[in-house]
Amino acid sequence: MPELPEVEAVRRELAPAMRGARFRRVIVRRAGLRTLFPDRFAARLRGRTVRGLVRRGKYLLADLSSGETLLMHLGMSGSFQVDHPAPGRVSIGVAKDVGDAHDHVVFQMSSGATITFNDPRRFGVMDLVPSAALDQHAALGAMGPEPLSRDFEPQALARVCAGRRAPIKVALLDQRVVAGLGNIYVSEALHLAHLSPRRPASRMARPSGTPRESAVHLVRAIKTTLERAIERQQNPRYRSARFRVYDREGQPCVTTGCDGAIKRITQAGRSTFYCPVCQTG
């Protein structure tokens, strides 16, 4: 499933085609994806201007001139494809070699771009939400701070982890702790911070509630990991060398001076990759 860096890369590619443009035509080829499309979905979009396009966690939010927000989630296999007036086709999102049978929604924009949402497994989401009520939306209301924002700092991490008995790897997957993190980049950040994925989340905070040094290192590692991953989205060859530990079981640790090998364990039903030699904190 796409995580924050992949979704942010999609937002950056969609923004020039959508921001400031009107929906000239909306084609909906099925009743819904993971859930049904809202009532009169196409009609409520048609003629509306996209005033802004932001990311919240793993969701894309298009602020509309109607006072509603178009909420979009890629699900497990969703991708957007943008056709510009000039020759050429730019694919963004999760690369899938699939046919047009999975092109479920098409936006024809006043910018001249045609934006097609393709989703073979149909776990994506598109919804229309009153913009004033976004904070009450089930998917967004309880979401934690954005990890690349100033709100996500060591004190905030210590505060939300205090008293949590779950391992820090599991805690960071909780969207109420921090928004947008997923299995891949949590493993990567913990390795960069040299912290064990088994470490109790509560140990991010001292008894007084102030952050330990581990919280400082982890917040810094999360921000660095995500920023690097977003940059790599623009490199078509990034997949071959993008991970420090994820999916590298049995391979040498990349930490300078470490002679460990990457190990895989299961936590909360998900694979965790880490180095048992240098991730002891």
Among residues 191, 221, 202, 220, the alpha carbon closest in space to that of 281 is found at 191
Whether the CB-CB separation of 15 and 239 falls below 8 Å is answered with no
How many CA atoms, within 13 angstroms, populate the side-chain half-sphere of residue 91?
10
Alpha-carbon span 169 to 165, nearest angstrom: 11
| Catalytic residue check, 263 | no
Q: Which residues contact 169 (CB under 8 A, 6 or more apart)?
A: 186, 187, 190, 197, 198, 267, 272
Cα(252)–Cα(34) distance, rounded to whole angstroms?
40
Catalytic residue among 3, 8, 68, 188: 3
Known catalytic residue: 3? yes
Of the candidates 46, 263, 270, 276, the residue annotated as catalytic is 270
Angle at CA of residue 34, ends 31 and 35, nearest 5°: 55
Helix ranges restricted to H, the chain: 4-18, 41-45, 154-161, 168-172, 183-192, 213-232
Q: Which two tokens stand for residue 153?
A: 């700092």
Which of the following is catalytic: 11, 48, 55, 58?
58
Of 265, 202, 268, nearest to 279 by C-alpha is 265
Joined together, the tokens standing for residue 271 give 């694979």
Which residues does the annotation mark as catalytic? 2-3, 58, 270
